[in-house]
Amino acid sequence: MKKNCPLQILRFLAASLVLLAALPGAARAEMPAVGRAEFQVAAVKGKPGFLTRLWYPAASGAPQWIGKNLVRQGYRAVPDAEPLAAAPAPLIVMNHGSGGSGEGMAWLGVELARQGAIVIAADHPGSSGGDPERPELLQIWRQPQEVSQMLDALLASPWGRRIDAKRIAVVGFSLGGTAALSLAGGRLDFQRFPRFCDSHDDGACRAFRSKFASLDAAFFERANADLKEPRIRAAVAIAAGLTESLTEASLRALKTPVLVIGGERDGQLPPSTHVKPIVGWLPAHSRYVEIQEAWHFSFLPLCAPTGAEVLAETNEAFACQEAGGKPREQIHQEAISATLRFLRDQRIFAPF
């Protein structure tokens, strides 16, 4: 055993206690099972329909493993469970990153559902699956527009009666974090991104530098548009992209509180150049949290024991690896704790 293993174990236990401290006493004593159901968002006004999944407190039922395979550890939930009868619940919208999926946000979404929220996570038509560096992923207006489409459909459905429309928040990772900030009122000056990449060579610049020549005035007009969704009352952006291109004026004018979570060792979007220069522009109701030893891929789902070996066949083992000695479970717990505290401070969840 390595000499630093006892220290790692102590750190892991400490993070577990931090997470437990963020949970109400009743929740610590007996947390409800989480249900999972699918919800189809219909096509509207030329916009395609898409599939979402819902996580929510379940009245009863036997949890089953969902999404468990040779790469992912999966999670436990009750398929199509009857929702727990309760007062209207907060709604949390989850946005995945480039090439991701709604299921990739389950590590956080399921925990938010345990706390009493209804959580919805889409497979966004323009940014789920496929090549995570394809040109259309730069169409950053699509996820925010799809969130508005999703809210229209869900609130008009029978689920709408179970939702407190005054307690809606959005949580996004990577490209989804960009969407979360846009939905809160942040606006881009997208022309800054190519200029930024002229003098920086991080993972985000390497992924999209070859696409910059194809961007035209029509693209910039759409990318820089006001994408604020007034029904969103709080936003959490985890390892968000394009933060270096957010305008100072839009951030200083934010009415919707935002929590920005960064990973200290994120080589795709290094906090020192992408996030920290804009933190001072955030209003007093917003905050920045940096998780030590985390990198960009720390916020992907937990991997199965065979995950890295399977992904190594396609040179993607990095998706199951960490940049430091901190386990992904601990990084997730720290992100969950920070998110819960922030959402309670904003009265999305009831304080305690």
According to the model, what pLDDT value does residue 30 have?
63
Looking at the structure, give the CATH architecture of the domain made up of residues 5-14+55-345.
Answer: 3-Layer(aba) Sandwich (3.40)
Give me the sign of the Cα torsion angle 136, 104, 256, 197. negative
With b meaning 16 or more CB within 10 Å and e meaning fewer, what string describes 103-127? bbbbbbbbbbbbbbbbbbbbbbbbb
According to the model, what pLDDT value does residue 244 have?
97
For the chain, the domains span: 5-14+55-345
C-alpha span between 275 and 204 (Å, rounded): 13
The model carries a pTM of 0.90
According to the model, what pLDDT value does residue 130 have?
76
Amino acid at 237: A
CB atoms within 10 A of CB 352: 10
According to the model, what pLDDT value does residue 46 have?
87
According to the model, what pLDDT value does residue 351 have?
64
Q: What distances in angstroms separate CA 93 from CA 118, 154, 246, 324, one per listed residue?
A: 9, 11, 22, 30
According to the model, what pLDDT value does residue 27 have?
42
The tens place of each residue's pLDDT in the chain, 352 residues long, gives 333 444 443 344 444 444 444 444 444 446 779 999 999 999 998 899 999 999 999 999 999 999 999 999 999 999 999 999 778 999 999 999 999 999 999 999 999 999 999 999 999 998 988 777 777 889 999 999 999 999 999 999 999 999 999 999 999 999 999 999 999 999 999 999 999 999 999 999 999 999 999 999 999 999 999 999 999 999 999 999 999 999 999 999 999 999 999 999 999 999 999 999 999 999 999 999 999 999 999 999 999 999 999 999 999 999 999 999 999 999 999 999 999 999 999 999 986 4
